[in-house]
């Protein structure tokens, strides 16, 4: 098999043309590997800042493309390196103040990936990665770091299996500097339906008959996709005690999945079950791949005023119900910038024009599902607004799957942060969401042909 060879200058050139949406740059003070960066969510709308950064990025793109090699040679120093293993893909990230110049190639017998970062020093930050490869990493068995020649740090990844590597640069965003990202994908993407069959002990249930003891009117096994927001490079919002939104959403998501799986007639699928980033379009795609009946995205809100509190439930709309809702959607949609998506290859599905869901049956179902979940959350927590809100959340874009986004509580509120960390309270939130789902299904049971085949 022919090896692959990707040059950093070529890749970065693409990046400089394509990635101009960066918000203001960051200059993290702490050197060394970080398990997670500081919170990224801004405390106030900063459209002017972003427009300025956008213009600055465009102006600098051509100069940077011409002089990238020189700049990198003079200044590149990796100050953080991270690895995020997951079944979907394993990601390795190098962060530095200036864009990194690199070369990637493969070696065979045994299978290895070799990443040469030019002008970086093989200091402790990069070398420490050697000890961070998890035994259960699906793709990497070992990682080695050495100075290959003066000014070139060589990172060799011993592979457990053949992979499809992608390497790309990310411009500074939120608290991150320049990032060089190496993703290792399986040669054949896992079949989501097959995975569901493997994981789902209930698959033997007859799909066209009511599940024994199931909610009245449920005519088949309903699939609910539970989406824990953020993950990996994208921590989401954070609380004053350091609680990260990505951790809270995963814990609540896992609880909700367990509760759903324990219900007759229902099963749940998580869009992520680990600390790694799943692009927003991929979350939507995962729901469509398993022919989901419902999509529930789990988040935790943040604001600059610590007394802001309460639960909210959102649905998709091009016409936001408030400026705050529009701002929140914009923040959540920036996950892809922070979490890191290769814009050259990402799913074109994300780029599609937002359809006017007010014209579709989904709109009505979104609203009913959101209302039922909001009612139930109101029994265990203050409601932030007391009504379902709407805004243009990218993760709610599956046109044929009723989808809601739940902001469980304000992680920026010290009391709510404590509750979000609490096992019993996480359980309460999950149970409230489940109760809302069951109420919705009570009135609108899933149909054999799909969730909206007989919309009423
Ligand atoms: Zn979020």
Q: What is the structure's pLDDT at 199? A: 54
Q: Give the residue among 451, 443, 441, 444 at the shortest CA–CA distance from 290.
A: 451
Task: Point out the domain boundary residue: 121, 152, 186.
Answer: 186
Lowest mean pLDDT among 27-41, 250-264, 395-409: 27-41
Q: How far is the CA of 203 from the centre of ligand 1 (A)?
A: 32
| Angstrom distance (rounded) from CA 434 to CA 202 | 18
Q: Are residues 141 and 252 in the same domain?
A: no
Q: Are residues 311 and 428 in the same domain?
A: yes
Helix axes 8-18, 47-75, angle to 10 degrees: 170
Q: What is the structure's pLDDT at 425? A: 98
**Chain CA centroid to CA 209, Å:** 36
Q: How far is the CA of 437 from the centre of ligand 1 (A)?
A: 21
Residue 446 has pLDDT above 90, yes or no: no
Q: How far is the CA of 164 from the centre of ligand 1 (A)?
A: 29
Lowest mean pLDDT among 78-92, 208-222, 440-454: 208-222
Lowest mean pLDDT among 125-129, 133-137, 349-353, 414-418: 349-353
pLDDT tens digits for range 148-180: 888 899 999 999 999 999 999 999 999 999 999
| Angstrom distance (rounded) from CA 131 to CA 418 | 33
Highest mean pLDDT among 47-61, 231-245, 384-398: 231-245
Q: How far is the CA of 329 from the centre of ligand 1 (A)?
A: 9
Domain count, the chain: 2
Query: Pick the residue with more confidence: 46 or 129?
Result: 129
Question: Over pLDDT 90: what percentage of the chain?
Answer: 61
Q: How far is the CA of 354 from the centre of ligand 1 (A)?
A: 20
In a domain, 450, yes or no: no
Q: Are residues 262 and 393 in the same domain?
A: yes
Q: What is the structure's pLDDT at 11? A: 36
Highest mean pLDDT among 105-119, 252-266, 347-361: 252-266
Q: How far is the CA of 109 from the centre of ligand 1 (A)?
A: 43
Q: How far is the CA of 76 from the centre of ligand 1 (A)?
A: 32
Q: How far is the CA of 400 from the centre of ligand 1 (A)?
A: 23
- CA dihedral for 312, 228, 360, 435, sign (positive or negative): negative
DSSP string for 181-216: EEEEEESS---HHHHHHHH-GGGGS-TTSPPTTPPT
Q: How far is the CA of 230 from the centre of ligand 1 (A)?
A: 6
In a domain, 454, yes or no: no
In a domain, 319, yes or no: yes
- CATH code (residue 84): 2.60.40.3500
Q: Give the residue among 132, 316, 339 at the shortest CA–CA distance from 228.
A: 339
Task: Point out the domain boundary residue: 137, 171, 186.
Answer: 186
Q: Are residues 393 and 285 in the same domain?
A: yes
Q: How far is the CA of 168 from the centre of ligand 1 (A)?
A: 25
Residue 192 has pLDDT above 80, yes or no: no
Q: Are residues 78 and 140 in the same domain?
A: yes
- CATH code (residue 353): 3.40.630.40
Q: What is the structure's pLDDT at 118? A: 86
In a domain, 456, yes or no: no
Q: What is the structure's pLDDT at 6? A: 53
Q: What is the structure's pLDDT at 198? A: 60
Q: Are residues 199 and 337 in the same domain?
A: yes
Residue with tokens 């996709």: 225
In a domain, 448, yes or no: no
Q: What is the structure's pLDDT at 61? A: 33
Instruction: Give the neighbor-by-neighbor strand order of the sheet with 403-410.
Output: 266-270, 222-228, 294-301, 403-410, 312-316, 389-391
DSSP 322: S
In a domain, 229, yes or no: yes
| Angstrom distance (rounded) from CA 81 to CA 187 | 25
Q: Are residues 164 and 243 in the same domain?
A: no
In a domain, 84, yes or no: yes
Task: Point out the domain boundary residue: 186, 219, 247.
Answer: 186
Q: How far is the CA of 426 from the centre of ligand 1 (A)?
A: 16
In a domain, 451, yes or no: no
Residue 295 has pLDDT above 50, yes or no: yes
Q: Are residues 180 and 211 in the same domain?
A: no
The residues, any chain, with a CB within 8 Å of residue 49's CB and separated by 6 or more, are 23, 24
Q: Are residues 94 and 230 in the same domain?
A: no
Q: How far is the CA of 128 from the centre of ligand 1 (A)?
A: 30
Residue 450 has pLDDT above 60, yes or no: no
Q: How far is the CA of 299 from the centre of ligand 1 (A)?
A: 4
Residue 279 is part of which domain span?
A: 192-443
Q: How far is the CA of 208 from the centre of ligand 1 (A)?
A: 36
Q: How far is the CA of 269 from the centre of ligand 1 (A)?
A: 19
Q: What is the structure's pLDDT at 342? A: 85
Query: Pick the residue with more confidence: 194 or 285?
Result: 285
Q: Are residues 12 and 127 in the same domain?
A: yes
Q: Are residues 93 and 196 in the same domain?
A: no
Q: Are residues 131 and 232 in the same domain?
A: no
Q: How many residues does the chain have?
A: 456
Q: How far is the CA of 333 from the centre of ligand 1 (A)?
A: 9
């Amino acid at each position: 098999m022919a090896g692959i060879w990707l040059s950093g200058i070529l890749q970065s050139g693409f990046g400089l043309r394509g990635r101009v949406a960066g918000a203001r740059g960051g200059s993290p003070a702490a050197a060394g590997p970080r398990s997670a960066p500081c919170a990224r969510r801004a405390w106030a709308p900063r459209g002017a800042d972003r427009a300025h950064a956008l213009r600055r990025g465009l102006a600098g793109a051509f100069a940077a493309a011409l002089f990238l090699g020189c700049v990198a040679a003079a200044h590149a120093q990796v100050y953080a390196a991270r690895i995020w293993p997951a079944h979907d893909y394993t990601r390795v990230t190098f962060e530095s103040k200036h864009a990194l110049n690199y070369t990637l190639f493969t070696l065979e017998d045994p299978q290895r990936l070799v990443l040469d970062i030019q002008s970086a020093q093989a200091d402790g930050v990069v070398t420490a990665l050697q000890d961070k490869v998890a035994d259960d990493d699906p793709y990497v068995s070992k990682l080695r770091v050495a100075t290959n020649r003066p000014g070139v740090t060589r990172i060799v990844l011993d592979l457990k299996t053949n992979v499809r590597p992608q390497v790309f640069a990310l411009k500074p965003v939120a608290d991150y500097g320049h990032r060089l990202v190496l993703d290792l994908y399986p040669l054949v993407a896992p079949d989501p339906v097959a995975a569901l069959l493997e994981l789902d002990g209930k698959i033997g249930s007859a799909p066209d008959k009511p599940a024994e003891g199931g909610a009245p009117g449920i005519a088949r096994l309903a699939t609910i996709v539970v989406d824990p927001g953020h993950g990996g490079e994208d921590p989401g919002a954070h609380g004053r005690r350091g609680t990260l939104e990505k951790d809270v959403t995963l814990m609540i998501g896992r609880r909700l999945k367990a509760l759903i799986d324990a219900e007759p007639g229902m099963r749940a699928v998580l869009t992520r079950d680990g600390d790694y980033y799943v692009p927003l379009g991929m979350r939507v795609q995962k729901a469509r791949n398993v022919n989901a009946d419902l999509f529930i995205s789990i988040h935790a809100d943040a604001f600059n005023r610590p007394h802001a509190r309460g639960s909210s439930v959102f649905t998709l709309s091009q016409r936001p119900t408030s400026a705050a809702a529009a701002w929140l959607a914009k923040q959540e949609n920036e996950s892809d910038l922070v979490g890191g998506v290769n814009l050259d290859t990402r799913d074109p599905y994300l780029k599609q024009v937002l359809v006017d869901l007010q014209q579709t049956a989904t709109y009505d179902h979104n609203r009913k599902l959101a209302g039922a979940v909001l009612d139930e959350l109101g029994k265990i927590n203050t409601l932030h607004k007391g009504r379902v809100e709407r805004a243009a959340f990218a993760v709610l874009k599956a046109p044929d799957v009723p989808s809601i986004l739940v902001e469980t509580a304000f992680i920026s509120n010290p009391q709510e942060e404590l509750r979000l960390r609490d096992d019993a309270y996480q359980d309460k939130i999950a149970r409230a969401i489940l109760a809302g789902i069951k109420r919705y299904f009570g009135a609108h049971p899933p149909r054999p042909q799909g969730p909206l085949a007989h919309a009423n």
